[in-house]
Amino acid sequence: MSGNWRDRTATRFECQKMPAVSSRGMVVSNHPLASSAGAEMLAAGGNAIDAAIATLFTLTVVEPMMVGIIGGGMAHVRLADGSHRFLDGQSTVPSAVRDDTYTSRQGAAHDVFDTVGNENLNGAKAVATPGSLKAWCETLRRFGDVMQPAIKHAARGYAATPYLHECISESAAEMRKDKPIAAIYLPDGEPLKIGERVIQAEYAETLRYIADHGDNALYEGPLGDILVDYMEKTGGFIRRNDLTSYKTVERQPIRADYRGWTILGPPPPAASGVHIAQMLNILEGYDIGGLGFGTPETIHYLAEVLKIAFADRAAASGDPDYVGVPVERLTSKAYAEERRRAIDPARAQAWGAGVSQLEGAHTTHMTAADSFGNVVATTQTINNLFGAKIMIPGLGAIANNYMNLFDPRPGHALSLAPGKRVTTSMSPMMALRDGKLRYALGLPGGKRIFPSAMQALINLIDHGMSLQEAVEAPRVWTEGNALEVEQTVPESVRTRLASVGHKVQPVATVAGGMNGIAFDDDGSMTGAACWRADGTPVGISGGLAKSGIRFRLS
């Protein structure tokens, strides 16, 4: 589509942040200290993998409400040889858990996994077998250097941001019930104030031990003993055999061909790659660029494909070792045509699944690239804000509450089973044109992640936005009920959408802080992060002096 997308828009916005441009490497995460930690690895001659792992360990310190070593995640790695792979480090159901371990809250809707006493939400019973630490350490077998920034910030402390303060305030009621976590984030019973130091001395010691011993410290060694002992004393389910038997899984990406672009996303148990491919295939039949960004027509089609995707997700998503996921049918052009024919361009509809056989919103994402061609886009989480709202004494680490992502009722795709991996919407995506990598991006946000990632790709490909514009642009979301639209979408557009049957609900944000990297032909990289989090791009340019160059006084 030629011309400026702003000439065809009904929804105007201005970017609130500036991108960064570099030639030797780029790191973008949702905290400036974490991005700086990754950039430090690049400046020292490391590659994107070194940078990514340094960033992730630092995020466990400076974004503790989102990510931790007792969590899980999905990493999309592109190596310098052009190959892509996904490293699945998602958490799993402990072996002691059965499909009827929890009691579903009476009257809960089919897609609501509430249990009596919130046992799968808060506390020790909500904790699943962690995968993050093993995945990070397997990705990188030398730990000492990359962990030093995380250790430093944990031991010396860092200033609480307004974003962290708000997250603590939101979770304070539950966090007050756990003395170790409250001691750090709720001193004197009140949330840390903006600018106050966050010091995690016990966690710094845990990180030092991991730096010396790697993932065996938790999965085979004394850190695991501390975790298991805590679980046994507090009614949790993780036992030593859950840790020793945990394995990461390397998987191949889901591929979508969209208007001459190749889009690569995560495979099952992630639902995201499949349904992004499905939605793009359907939207390919419409002139999205010509319809314009943020117009009633474009948003209507987005809403309809989202409802279709969520109907199919509810029927056929899950761990492929336990559930038959019809990937080929869902990602086929023929199935997209079948679904597209049923869309009414002038009326909102309710949708059921077209196939037979479904998540917490508080996650983090980071993207790193080096000058050698290595790129890492990874999304990590402990599920809800501050996970299970408990800190493991002796580790200083916050535990996940991944058990809340499983259906407590037997007989469903997401029902509990020992060893089963969670289904996720994590979307560390990469887009290629003519075989060349052009974009890598991702974001946090639970079930709103993959719809938001899909919209960013459309912003780039159909509307011709810059990466900064694409990650900051207003978003929409629905899974079949209300159509959430960010408040930047004007009232005139909302009224038109309501007139064709959408139940429009203005919201402050849809999903969280997206970040990514754009790659240019000249080898330069542009890093961008949006206003929805503390996202910061840090790039490395310049380089060493030419050989033989000396400065001499005459």
Active site residues: 363
Is the alpha carbon torsion for 159, 164, 165, 169 positive or negative?
negative
Cα 190 from Cα 168, distance rounded (Å): 9
Cα 474 from Cα 13, distance rounded (Å): 8
Is-contact 294 497, C-beta < 8 A? no
Cα 389 from Cα 121, distance rounded (Å): 9
CA atoms within 13 A on the CB side of 162: 5
DSSP one-letter code for 118: G
Token representation of residue 23: 């030639």
The answer to the question of whether 273 is labelled as a binding residue is no
Sheet holding 515-519, edge to edge: 20-22, 525-529, 515-519, 436-442, 429-433, 261-265, 254-258
The answer to the question of whether 383 is labelled as a binding residue is yes
The answer to the question of whether 45 is labelled as a binding residue is no
The answer to the question of whether 488 is labelled as a binding residue is no
Spell out the residues 6+ positions from residue 71 whose beta carbon is closer than 8 angstroms to its own.
91, 130, 131, 132, 380, 381, 382, 383, 387, 400, 402
The answer to the question of whether 554 is labelled as a binding residue is no
Cα 441 from Cα 522, distance rounded (Å): 20
The answer to the question of whether 382 is labelled as a binding residue is yes
Cα 367 from Cα 48, distance rounded (Å): 9
DSSP one-letter code for 363: E
Per DSSP, what are the bridge partners of residue 506? 485
The annotation places the binding site at 381-383, 424-425, 446
Residue positions forming the annotated binding site for L-glutamate? 381-383, 424-425, 446
